[in-house]
Each structure stands twice: as C-alpha cells, then as structure tokens.
Structure 1
C-alpha cells in the first residue's frame, strides 16, 4: 500500500492506494504542540459514509505503507514532513495527476503514462475524460471518439486533439494515411502490335502499364474488356486504342459513352482536336422530358461521343447509329446507382442486341471486377497502382467554419509549385449548385462548375483552370464523374451529393482526381467533416461517421438491382426497341425482374398492347418516363388539364425521386 497526502485547505487529503485503487478518502487536520506538529482530527469517507477516527490511526497507516508521498507540484509540506519525521516515517515527493486528486483519486505519473492538458501533465484516463467532454459538447459520433482517442495516444496532447474538432490543419493530426505510388515501367510503342497508322494517331512514344496489359488481354483481337484502374492511369486511352484500331481496319465507328453532358462535351472537344483531321467526330447527348436535343450529331461520323441517355434515346426511338465497331462504356460502375443503374444496364443490353461490336468497359471503382466482367462477357484487366502518391487528411469543423478552412487550404496549395513547374490547384466538392456558388464567391480566384452552367460558361472555367488562372473550382458530382481537371488537391467540403451520402466508390473516384503524373509530385485530399451534421432528415448517419466509413471502406461491388418502377421502365424501353423480340433483350439484363408482371402493368396502363408499343408508350419510352409519370399524363389528358400544369407536375415528381 502507498499513502498520498495532499494539501487541502487547512488540512491534508489522505488517500491510501492499493494496486492503483483508492482504499478510502480521508482528511487529516494537524495541530501544533510543544513537540511539534501532531495529528489532531482524522475523518474517513468510505462507501458513502463519513466517520471520525482516532488521529493516531494516520500514523499507523503511514507506518504500514510502502511509501508516503505528496504531489511534486505542491508546496508547504514542511509541517507534514516534520510530523512524519517525528514518527520515523519518510516522506517522498511524487508527480501525480492533479485532476485525479480533485476527484479523490491517486494516480502516479511517474509510474503511468502522462498526457499534456493546458500545459499540465495529467493521467491518460483524465485526458480521455476531458476529450470525451469536448467531443460530447460537439456531438461527435462514437467512431469519431475512437479516432480522437487513437490520436491522443499518438500525440499525447489533449489540446492538439481538441483543436482537430475546430478545423486544425496540423498535418501530424489530420493525416489519415498515404496511398503510395507504385507504377510499373511504360512500354515503348515500337514494342507493341499497334499499327503504324494508329501509332501516328496516338503521337505517344510509350504506353502506360494498364494500356500494355489491355493489349496483352486481346484488345486488338476484338476481345471485350472490363478495365478497372485508378484515375489518371490511362484507361481512357484503352478505349481510344480499340476504337482507332477498328476504325483504321474498316470495322465500324466508335461509340464513346459517358454519364454526363459536361463530360461528353469535354471528350468531344478532345477527340475532335486529336483525331478530327482523320475522322469526323460527332456528339449525341440526351433528351429532356420536353424536347429531344441532338448536338452536332452526324450518323455517318467515325467517332460518336454520347451520354448514356443520348444514345439510349436513339435506340428507343429507332434511329440508326450506323455501322458500329467499338462501344466504350466509361464509368460502368454507374450500373449500381439506385436512380440510373437500371438504365445503363438496359442500354448495354440494347446495344448488344443492335450492334455486334467490341465492347470496352472502363471504371476506376469496381469492387468485384472479375464477377462484373464475367456478367458482361468481358475479360477483366485490373491495375491497382496509382501514378502519384496521395495523402488523405481528415479534420472536423462546424459548417460555418468550413469556408475559412477551404480558403486556407486553397491558398496554401496555390502558392506551391511542383517539380514540373505547375502551381497547386484544387477541386472542392460540395453537395449543391447553390453551395457551389456560395463557396466560389467567398474564395479568391475560384469558379463554380456544375451541370447547370451553359456550355460556354463551362468551357470558360475549364480554360481558366487549364491555364492556371484560377486556384480552385467548386463543383458537385459533375467532376467526380471524370471531367478532366489537372488538380493537385481535392477537398470534400461536404460528404453528400444532394440528400444522399457519398458511397465509397464515389468517394474513391472523386479523391482520385488529386494528383496527375504529368503535372504533380503528389496529390492531397482533405475531408472536412461536421460532427453531428446531416443534410436531410432521411440521413441516418452523421457526417463525421460517414467520413470515417469512407476513409476506411472498401469499394462496393457493382450489383444491378431493380425496383418495380425500374422494371416497368426497362420492359417498356425493350418493347419500344425490339418489338416482339423484347423478351430476349430483357433476359440479357444483368439485373433480373419478373418480365410478365412488368408487361401486365404496362398493358393495364395502355402503354403496351400485346407485345407492341402504343403511341403513348412510345412517347413514355422516348422521354424516359416512369409508369407513375406516364399515368399522370394519361389522367391529365382525360381530365382536360392544362398541359403546362402536367409538365410542371412531372418535373416536381422528378425532383422528389
């Protein structure tokens, strides 16, 4: 047993301790006698009861103890030292946790780990208690508390860890991990089976590893491939090589399909610039519910850049895409998207039915590449290495503080230059177009970028970023889907897109925009998480929970699932496309559904008659209407409602999906 005595007003706390546990709480008063200081009154509190003991029991206790100590930080122990010396009991000095003493505990810091708190050394348990209070005040999740405790063990300072909850950018604290680069050697073009004509079109001296691996998997032999490779590893060129090879061999045109109009515009400009002297390049983007739109579409062109919906509209309405030799589906992981996955699945099935071509599927984020490749009838080509290392950082901040943190990060990055001579530039992801403009307006040298901008406005931002005239772009999901901005830093100002939390796959794809091998030495990613924050009452997790789930998570498997609404829409699209052969197309979908049930619902609604599509069904299929929306049209026509009111209602339904 060890005995600790500590100043307590006009007396002393008395804390006997065994095995680190306090035996009882006592208080000793001392009186001055002719022989010096002597015990005068001893009160003991044990099991909630107070009792007065004989003062000499303190001396008995001191003599039985293995050691009598007092806090190294305390003064005024001459009296106690004189008292114990009179009874031949030694008194030692020891560093103990002051907060433990306040709470009636005895914890030696000479025999236990100590943590700094407001410049003072305290025990680990008290440090955790202080951190827990701070975390509870800010409403952080249990997962975040675990993260904070891990950091506390590592850095040994409560104030530093608490600062992380206030947006600290101390890299010792914010750094979550580093994704190392590990890139294999490039392959000289002359060592590949590419034809001289294709080599001349590519204007490259060598191919990157994923491109060489794709050649080895039979890219030039017409094999269908699923290429799963990190952002900026060169997988887009795999699709281009296949298309150029088949074009120059007279095997038909190339369809290069992407999920967004903004991305289609950028790909169109790039392909037209690179290959426009040799092949006509055209564009086929989607239709909205009011009118079909075709931008620069030439059915005789050798290269067609289109959105999923744009090309699917052609298939659903019977428009001839011509002799197709290569189909490249970029961002094929969108098959798992709750809202659009079934449409991409249907598009792939309809394309296979319409065109006996070579299919190349591209993605940076597929959790099950072998299984997906097998389902698509393709060979998997996986390349997991990154072209540059990426540091991932996590800090926490209230929503009102995030703008200031973003500004500091953007300025810091823009003031740096890589060894290749490029300034650091940033992509900031947020959750809405309105927030894009708010943030961009508060940052120096920043532009908003999203699908709501006109084509000219987007091109202006792309040019300014490419010429390093702006330090940052603030965007929503548009850039996450692969629009080509050579940024060195990515900041997640919010971890939601609209009212949905990001998936691990989306997060991985977006953070992969940080760092380009031709521009940067490394990429940097910052996740700004607001404790206890949600952006819609349907969100069950908080942003700080989501942040750790995303940083620790594994990319999701691509699995296509059908709701009844999705089944109805795809069944209708297949009837519009294939007539009485529609069952064969529906059975080729990766996601399954009850075809007869869907047909029954379509027939009851008057969209299909037998196995033939009706006029109303054709309009619904061509406008990508759900059965619910088509029913709204029917009911409004029968009721004689104003068509504009019907259109407005449809748009409202769409906004609430």
Structure 2
C-alpha cells in the first residue's frame, strides 16, 4: 500500500468531514462528482474540475454543493479530503480516459483509488451505491441498485393507477428475483412471460391406495355389469369409500379434489339401493344448470337399467327443459331449493334410499347456507318419519360431497357421517398471476386461448379454456372478441343451447367457453386451462373455497398432462361500491389463503326463517330439527318472533306463514311485500320497492 502524507485538518471542509470512510468520484458532464461517506451517510458533496500542469493533472476548481447552490473552495481542500479518506472509489460509469486521469492526479499525492461497479442513478444524484452481480438490476442499458429500481417501478405503477401494497410487494419481490426492471414493467403492459407470471405450482399427488376391483363389488347384477364394463377398478377415493361402508348404507362425507371421482361414490350407493328396492336416489346440487346436466347424464346412463330419472328444480311442475317432474321416479335430480320446496309444501317424495348432496360446502354461504342446513334436517325428518310408518323401508343413507372443506373432521362429526378424505391432485396445476389494465384483458384472453388450443397433450387432446367472469353480458362480450371458436355459457341461455355448448366443448369443437363464476363452478367442462377475467361472483368477491374449486377445473388426468390457471387482475379495481377490498388484494388473499371452515351462522332472520320451515314440516318436533342443524338457533326466541308476527298459531303455520315459507321469504321481505300490498301498490311496484331497498341495504 502506498504511503500517505500526514493528515492535516487546516480548513472547514476537512474539519467537517474528518475520518471519512469512503471518498467517491463519478464524472457527470465535464466535472467529477465528489461524495464523502461516513457511517453510511453522505457528509459532503461537491464537484471537482481538473487542470493540466507540468506535473500532470491536478485539482483545478473545487466547489461544495448544497442543493442547487455551489460554494467555491480551495483545490487544496480536495487534496486534504482525499488524504483523510480510508478508501477512494471511482464509479465504473466514468469513462476509461477520465478514470485514468483521476488515478494519475491522485497518484501525484501518493493516493490510490479502485474502480467499482455502482448504480448510475445514485452516482448521478451524488450517492455512493456499490452493486454486485447479486444486487444489480438491469434498467435498459444500465445496471442500478435495488432502491433505485424499486423507485422506478413505483413511478411506473403510479402511471397505471396504483396498486395496493400486496400487489406492489409481489412485483417488488419479482423485481429482486429476476433483476430486470423492463421485464417487470412489461407485465403491466400485458406481457405473458411465464417465468414472471407463475405464482406457484400445485404438484400432482397420488396417494398409495390399493384399488378395489369392480368385479369384487357387492352390487345389483345390472349395475355390476355396467360398472365392470366401464372400469376394471375403482379410483382411490371410490375405493376408500367402499372399504369404509359405502355399500353397507353408512352416511359419508367425501372430501376430494375436482376430477377425482366423487360423483360415482354417490351413484354406486344410490343406484344400487334403488335397483334392490331400498328406496330411490335423490341427487341434489346447488344450481339449475348442474341439475340439468346430471339429469341428462343419469338418463343416458341408467335408463337402460330400467330406472326412471326425473328432475326437480323449483316450484313449477314443468321445468325449463320441458320435462315434467315425476315424484315416483327411481332417480330424482334436484336443486336444494327444489326439494326443499317439496318438503315445505308437504309433497310426497316416496321412499328415499339415498340422498347425495353435492357441493355441501354451500353450507357456509351467508344467503344459502342456512337453507341447505335446514333442508338437510327436514329431509332427514321426512325419511325418519316415513321409516316408522312403512314396513320394509329403513330410511335413507346420506352422502355429502365436496372438493373444498377447511374443517372436514368437525363437519363429518356434526353430520354424523364417516369422513372419506383424499388429497389427490391427478395432474399438476400452474397458477399464474398478472396485473393488467381492464382494457387489455380481452386481448390477453385471446392470446391465452389461442396458445392453449394450438397445443396438444401427450394424450392427443387440444388445450381448451374456461374463462370465468362476473356477468352474463361480459360472457358475450369476451366470446365475441376471441378469434378461435368459443361460446358464452350462463343460466340466461335456454337448456338446449347450454347442452349444445357442452357437446361442442366435449367434442373439442370449441377452444373456449366464457361463463359466469356462479354457474360453471360445478359444470363438467374438461378444460386444460382456466382464466379468471374477474375474481368476483356478481358483486361479491370469490371465497377461497370457490376459487379453489374453480381453478380445479384445469387439467383432467384422462386428457391433459397439466392444468394451467391465469388470474388477470386489474389493479385497484372493484365491481361494486360494497366491496371493501380491491381485486389485486383479493388475488393475493386467494392465492395465499387457507381453506375456510364450513360452518353455518345464523342471524335472527335466518333462525326465524328456518324455524318457520321446520314448524311447517314437523310441527311440535321443530325444536328437534333445529337442534341437529349445524348452526345454533335459539328456538324459544325464534318461536316468540313467529308468534309476534302471526306467522304461526301454536305450532301450526298461519296462512301468512305458509305463504312466507313456501316462497322462501325472509321476514324482512315478507313485511316489505305486506306493506306494499296494504299501500295499494301493484306487484311490479312492490318488486321495484324491494330491489331499491336491497340496493340501499
């Protein structure tokens, strides 16, 4: 190491910055930035000009900078400052000749300097910020420090309308990971760089379950012949169910991912019991579209076995597919409300041997959960009561199906069912997240659909896409903009059109379907890719359960090698004034969220509504029905309200109470209708008043 002159401190500058750790030099224009660092802080900033002398380059003009002001200083003060520094560093952004000139000048005072890699943005602003290969971030042709890169990203985000902290943190993490600012900002312009959009991958998992051979099943000969013709052995979740009492009539809660074969569990039990004369199969789903699909599937599959299949989706005797409901049929496919309406109105459903309740996690929903909870209790009461009156009928087996339950042990215990839980994911699923302007979504969706349809799996199937959005109008809008063949699919289409779309998709004649989240969460489209145009269901954000089930539609083991999910998230977006979170916040919550518990919580209104329905069905035994429901109901308080409002007389519904319960009215809606009628409003005006009141609520 070169010897230094003895350190002198004869002037204000050197006194101010004595014991400097680092003196940093960087050329800007025709002058050198001079920065003195001590304890990590800048204690001096100035500019230096060199001059040529007979002895070589020497300090010419030296100025101290303070904001935009420059204060002249003696060139000798720069020399004293340099001598007081423990180390001198020169920015690598200073061109080679200028570095050489600086080193020659310093050498004249027996001082040495090293050239270091630094952030150009910091250097130009008079900051010393060394960077390494691990910390340097590419920005156009420069490499800058993480702090400057983050500031540049924040500036870019401000032009896009702003992101919430959760989304911004996600992008900043990506920035530090890939170390390329342009790649991150390009994401905001619709770039689909899979290395950046990929949030994670849910690995394929196959539990080691010894399969049950279909030839070994104790089934009715007709069903056994059909089953062995279709399959040599059962899938793992089906095998677990059979080994744990499915064909012995035990109640079961079956929790397993989409496409693992849960539905067949219910079919095997229900069809077997129906063929053996142990009662009909009741297969219940939350939505009319799902009921229509199951009805068609079951008719095609089981009519040849001599079973009559019917559908019950509402109060009407004629359904939208033109089929008349037959309460004497061997198989009834219905919606929760359709069957509950039959119970509330005293309809005879005959001997029910098996009840399959699909999508049982609906129990946690605010609006529909308590009604499903009440319907299960009322249906059990119906079966128990009938069993006491009829010889040869021993009641019904209840089978509950769900892909998404956060508290399966608790739920199985409350339902008094054996838990069959299977964690298999047949194919891996990649989950991708990108932030995008709303105007760009349709263009990106078109690219995703084309890219996926142009691929073929190892099983020779083209990739097909389900696009979930939050309104029927948006379904048509997106479908019109897609270049490859596609179709909208929602409950507003007639039955024939929906079946046509399902057939076209199954035949691979469509590259995509665009559907509402509310409808297609359970419809069986064998898609390889799911795209979320919106993370809302109507004016409500998706729950973790709903999101998990919908993304589970991506990738089928018989068709695809993997599933892929894209979330196209609009920063700072909401779809209704009642939404407290923005779409980018919701996206991170859904991706990181844990499965929510399935519990039914009762407001006073819900408790009164279900107690009224239970009194209508069971009279004085209503408390027993209330007590075995999942949610807690104060029966005494609910009965008091019903008496006060004249919905019941003793333990019988009044004509008003009967009308309220058969139309699934909450007490609030019932009183709104009564007030409208008493005010002389026509029916349309009453409906308008109710909708206005709901919006205000």
Tell whether the structures are fold-level matches, with TM greater than 0.5: yes
Query: Which residues in structure 2 correspond to 1:124-273 (within 5 Å)?
Result: 124-138=146-160, 139-183=162-206, 184=208, 186-194=211-219, 196-202=221-227, 203-273=230-300
Give 1:365-404 correspondences, 5 Å limit.
Answer: 365-404=404-443
Rounded Cα–Cα distance in structure 2 between residues aligned with 1:476 and 1:552: 23
Q: Write out per-residue CA displacement over residues 105-159 of structure 1, whole angstroms, 9 at most, x where no aligned residue.
A: 1122358721101121111221122122223443111111221122122211011
The answer for the alignment partner of 2:631 in structure 1 is: 591
Matching residue within 650, 656, 663 for 1:623: 663
* Cα separation, 2, equivalents of 1:551 and 1:635: 46
Alignment partner of 1:556: what SS?
Answer: coil
Whole-Å Cα distance in 2 between the matches of residues 119 and 504 of structure 1?
42
- In the alignment, the residues of structure 1 paired with residue 407 and residue 634 of structure 2 have an alpha-carbon distance, to the nearest angstrom, of 25
Residue 187 of structure 1 aligns to a residue in which SS?
coil
Name the stretch that deviates more: 242-251 or 550-559: 242-251
Q: Residue in 2 aligned with 1:326?
A: 354
The change in CA–CA distance for 1:72 and 1:292 in structure 2 (over 3 A counts) is closer
1:531-557 CA-to-partner distances (Å, cap 9, x unmatched) read: 111111221111111101101111100
CA drift at 1:295:
4.2
- Whether the aligned pair in 1 keeps the contact of 2:119 and 2:131 (CA below 8 Å) is yes
1:572 aligns with 2:609: no
Q: Distance in 1 between matches of 2:277 and 2:90?
A: 92
Alignment partner of 1:23 out of 43, 50, 60: 43
Aligned residue number for residue 346 of structure 1: 374
Give the whole-Å Cα distance in 2 for the aligned partners of 1:520 and 1:112: 38
| Counterparts of residues 416-435 of structure 1 (less than 5 Å) | 416-435=455-474
Kindly tell me the number of residue pairs found equivalent between the two proteins: 657
* Displacement of 1:391: 0.7
Confirm or deny: 8 A CA contact 1:466 1:485 kept in the other structure: yes
Alignment partner, residue 386 of structure 2: none
Say if 2:491 is the partner of 1:468: no
Match of 2:58, SS state, is strand
Asked if the contact 2:317/2:324 (under 8 Å) is kept, the reply is no
State the partner residue of 2:392.
none
Q: Report matched runs for 1:290-329 at 5 Å.
A: 295-329=323-357
* 3-state SS in 1 of match to 2:304: coil
Partner of 2:310: 282
Q: CA deviation at 1:194?
A: 4.3
TM-score (norm 2): 0.90
Q: CA deviation at 1:597?
A: 2.6
Using the TM superposition, give the Cα deviation of residue 49 of structure 1 relative to its aligned residue in structure 2, in angstroms.
9.3
CA 1:639/1:57 → structure 2, altered by over 3 Å: closer, same or farther?
closer
Separation (CA, whole Å) in 1 of partners of 2:114 and 2:320? 89
TM-aligned CA distance change 1:290 to 1:209, over 3 Å: closer
Q: Give the conservation status (yes or no) of the 8 Å contact 1:262–1:478.
A: no
Post-superposition CA distance 1:210-249 (Å, at most 9, x none) = 0000112111111110000000000011111110221233
Question: Partners in 1 of 2:320 and 2:447 — Cα distance?
Answer: 44
Distance change >3 Å, CA 112–CA 249, structure 1 → 2 = closer
Q: Partners of 1:141 and 1:644 in 2: how far apart?
A: 43
Aligned to 1:485: 525
Partners of 2:109 and 2:450 in 1: CA distance? 69
Q: Deviations over 1:353-396 (max 9, x none)?
A: 11131000000010000000001111111111111111111111
Looking at structure 1, the residues matched to 566 and 214 of structure 2 have their Cα atoms a distance apart, in angstroms, of 38
* Maintained 8 Å contact 2:26/2:93: no
1:513 equivalenced with 2:538 (yes/no): no
CA distance in structure 2 between the partners assigned to 1:19 and 1:4 by the alignment: 14
Structure 1 unpaired stretches of 5+: none
CA contact under 8 A between 1:20 and 1:107: conserved in structure 2? no
Distance 1:128 1:255 in 2: 58
Given the alignment of the two structures, is residue 554 of structure 1 paired with residue 581 of structure 2, yes or no?
no
Query: Contact 1:495–1:502 at 8 Å: present in 2 too?
Result: yes
The Cα of 1:634 is off from its aligned counterpart by: 2.5
Structure 1 residues 526, 112: CA separation in 2 closer, same or farther (over 3 Å shift)?
A: closer
Question: Alpha carbons of 1:655 and 1:569: their partners in 2 closer, same or farther (altered >3 Å)?
Answer: farther
CA displacement 1:76-103 (0-9 Å, x = unmatched): 4154344223223334433211101122
Give the corresponding residue for 1:57.
77
Query: What is the TM-score normalised by the length of structure 1?
Result: 0.95
Deviations 1:567-593 (A, max 9, x none): 221122112212232222122221122
Q: Distance in 1 between matches of 2:274 and 2:157?
A: 61
Shift of residue 656, structure 1, vs aligned partner = 7.5
In structure 2, which of residues 109, 112, 122 is the aligned counterpart of residue 90 of structure 1?
Answer: 112
* Alpha-carbon shift at residue 644 of structure 1 (Å): 4.1
CA contact (8 A) 1:568 1:601 kept: yes
User: Residues of 2 paired with 1:542 and 1:460: CA distance?
Assistant: 36
Report the alpha carbon displacement of residue 73 of structure 1 after superposing the two structures with TM: 2.6
How far apart, CA to CA, are the structure 1 residues paired with 2:364 and 2:34?
66
Task: Answer yes or no: is the 8 Å Cα contact 2:247–2:269 preserved in 1.
Answer: yes
Return the offset for 1:181. 1.1
Paired with 2:71 and 2:467, the residues of 1 have a C-alpha distance of 66
Equivalent position of 1:437 in the other structure = 476
Structure 2 residue 562 is matched with structure 1 residue 522? yes
CA RMSD of aligned residues (A): 2.4
| TM-fit CA distance, 1:655 | 7.5
